[in-house]
Amino acid sequence: MIIGAGLGGACLAHGLKKAGVSVAVYERESARHDGFFGFRAVIGPSGDRALRDALPPDLYETFAATCAESPRHLTVYSKGLDELFISSLPAARRETGDADVGLKYASFMTLRQLLLTGIEDSVRFGKEFTRYERRPDGRITAFFTDGTSAVADVLVGADGAQSRVRQQYLPEADAHDCGFVVAYGHVDLIEAARLLPWEMLGGISVVGNRQGLSMITQPMEFQWDREGELKGHVGGVHAALIKTWPGLRYDNTRDHLMWGLISSSRLFRADPEAILGAKLVDVVADMTRGWNSALHTLVGLTDPATAAATRAVVSRAIDSFQETGVTLLGDAGHARMPDPGAGADETLRAAGLLCGQIVRAVADRRPIVAAIHDYDAQVLGSGSEAGRAYWKCLNRKARMDRSVIGPMLAAGSRTRLRVANQVPSLKKRVAGEYRWVQGGSAA
């Protein structure tokens, strides 16, 4: 049984179902269209491979057809919207072994709907997990807030960054507050286009500010229009796939410009978990008041239903694992700050690995607990390494945030960006330093 029908849980359920392994997923949200909007899910080659392996072929092709247009360039701006640096991005290609060019950009809600298609009979909504017990026969009983329980050979906690399964299974690996807040929202793309320079509408933009605040924006343009109908130019296989895919009925994603504001907790003017919607939009609009008026106005146009904020968390390293029928997947296993946008890709990759371990153990009649132990060492261990890389990134940001040295570093960085923009050899290096903004585990 899997706790949580997010990206990881649903992808694993698909893979197990495809291999003929019995699986049940327990999700706390009460319906398939409830839940997290997020930035955008960036899928690199390894996440893409996991999806291709887990999904029925038609559904995988539908995934490719429902991804957004790839960004064409990366631009860095000052808060006054002066262009400091621009570099073109490699075009995404369908089939590629090259991590640099294999990124696909999906809406979280579209991907969620996609992954919930075809496993409807395995997912129970409105089931909020509270705790588990190991039975004398080695099987696991899970308990839910509605008073019900379920028994299985294996329990996979895929219940996100605040995982209750992790709290019980590995309490010492609980998530750690990094002192940063990420707020995000969506603005209708047509409204955004009235305000912003064309470069911002065709690529990923980073807007830096002297006080350690930065904003990332990216247009997300899909093949369907505001009414959910196919756009005129879409034809052939994509048209047929999107038309026949029932998931679009539950998906209200439309063309938008997504923004994410990264701020130290000290600078964020509210408790991120306590505010949502219009109130949150007001807080971010207030924080960007001194910025170029187009950016400030853009924030004010955010659809309140898409605005949310979260504290950045990183899991503590996990060094040893017991052989039990319990394991963790995705953010439950290695929570990380949303900033570089690698979480979706790594979660899907891990789902593929766990699925492979379970399916092989069943086929070889090997104990599943041993297979899970191998997965734990391979994936939760590498997650810990990713966590360490994270700290490096956070330390760099923390330097930028210091009141005296921050503005000096920021001023130096602006000069460097301007120079690099003119010098091809330097430009390549600086573009590499900003690769994390593209997201995906290639970052």
Ligand X SMILES: Cc1cc2nc3c(=O)[nH]c(=O)nc-3n(C[C@H](O)[C@H](O)[C@H](O)COP(=O)(O)OP(=O)(O)OC[C@H]3O[C@@H](n4cnc5c(N)ncnc54)[C@H](O)[C@@H]3O)c2cc1C
Contact with ligand X (CB under 6 A) among 1, 16, 39, 211: 39
Q: Is 280 in the site for ligand X (CB under 6 A)?
A: no
Q: Is 153 in the site for ligand X (CB under 6 A)?
A: no
Q: Is 332 in the site for ligand X (CB under 6 A)?
A: yes
Coil, helix or strand at residue 57: helix
d(CA 217, CA 294) in angstroms, rounded, equals 13
Q: Is 6 in the site for ligand X (CB under 6 A)?
A: yes
d(CA 443, CA 84) in angstroms, rounded, equals 22
Contact with ligand X (CB under 6 A) among 2, 21, 27, 54: 27
Report residue 86 as tokens.
Answer: 């621009």
Contacts of 91 (CB under 8 A, 6+ apart): 70, 72, 101
For 78-189, strand residue ranges (E) read: 83-88, 104-106, 123-124, 129-134, 140-144, 149-152, 155-157, 175-188
Cα angle at 403 between 398 and 405, to 5 degrees? 75
Residue among 154, 116, 91 at smallest CA distance from 32: 116
Site for ligand X in 300-319 (CB under 6 A): 310
Residue (175 or 410) nearer to ligand X, CB: 175
Checking phi first, is residue 178 left (phi over 0); if not, alpha (psi -120 to 50) or beta?
alpha
Q: Is 58 in the site for ligand X (CB under 6 A)?
A: no
Residue (155 or 241) nearer to ligand X, CB: 155
Nearest residue to ligand X, scored by beta-carbon proximity: 6
Residue (41 or 213) nearer to ligand X, CB: 41
Contact with ligand X (CB under 6 A) among 14, 17, 40, 166: 40
Q: Is 212 in the site for ligand X (CB under 6 A)?
A: no
d(CA 235, CA 318) in angstroms, rounded, equals 49
Q: Is 204 in the site for ligand X (CB under 6 A)?
A: no
Q: Is 5 in the site for ligand X (CB under 6 A)?
A: yes
Largest CA distance in the chain: 69
Residue (178 or 241) nearer to ligand X, CB: 178
Q: Is 439 in the site for ligand X (CB under 6 A)?
A: yes
d(CA 287, CA 341) in angstroms, rounded, equals 23
Report residue 171 as tokens.
Answer: 């309490």
Contact with ligand X (CB under 6 A) among 212, 272, 341, 352: 341
Q: Tell me which residues touch ligand X (CB under 6 A).
A: 3-9, 26-29, 35-36, 38-42, 128-129, 158-160, 164, 182, 184, 310, 330-332, 338, 341-345, 347, 439
